[in-house]
Every structure is written in C-alpha cells, then in structure tokens.
C-alpha cells in the first residue's frame, strides 16, 4: 500500500504527496497547483515548500521534475 501525506496550506487541503521509491509525487486538488500536479520531488519538505509558495501567489523558481 502506498503511503500518502496530506498537503494543506493554512488549513486548506490542496493536495497529497504519495511516497515512491524515487521521492514524492504531488497530486494537486486545487487549481492553483496544477503546475505541480504529478511532479516528483526528493523530499516531503520540498513538496510542502513549493506547494505553499505557489499557492500563496509565488512563482516556481526551479524546473519541475516529471
């Protein structure tokens, strides 16, 4: 069974991070985070940090890893 982690920004559920052998795949549930949907990141902290930045109106500064 896959392990997943809820990603929320200030109490708003915005997606989930699913643990894979190669890192964490982000599954977006909020349209603001469509650019991150399906991307894979090395750590859960990376997913949380980037989701927060994008959700709060920031821009992604690093290329997405698909």
Mean pLDDT by 10 residues, the chain (66 residues): 91 96 95 94 96 84 54
* pTM (2 d.p.): 0.82
User: Is the Cβ–Cβ distance between 54 and 35 less than 8 Å?
Assistant: yes
- pLDDT score at 1: 67
* Alpha carbon separation from 65 to 13, 26, 51 (Å, rounded): 22, 11, 14
- pLDDT score at 16: 98
User: Is the Cβ–Cβ distance between 66 and 38 less than 8 Å?
Assistant: yes
- pLDDT score at 18: 97
User: Is the Cβ–Cβ distance between 7 and 15 less than 8 Å?
Assistant: yes
User: Is the Cβ–Cβ distance between 2 and 18 less than 8 Å?
Assistant: yes
- pLDDT score at 2: 78
């Amino acid at each position: 069974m896959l392990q997943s982690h809820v990603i929320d920004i200030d109490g708003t559920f915005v997606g989930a991070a699913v643990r894979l052998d190669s890192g964490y795949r982000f599954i977006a549930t909020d349209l603001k985070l469509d650019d991150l949907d399906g991307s894979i990141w090395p750590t859960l902290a990376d997913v949380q940090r980037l989701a927060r930045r994008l959700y709060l109106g920031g821009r992604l500064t690093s290329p997405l890893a698909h």
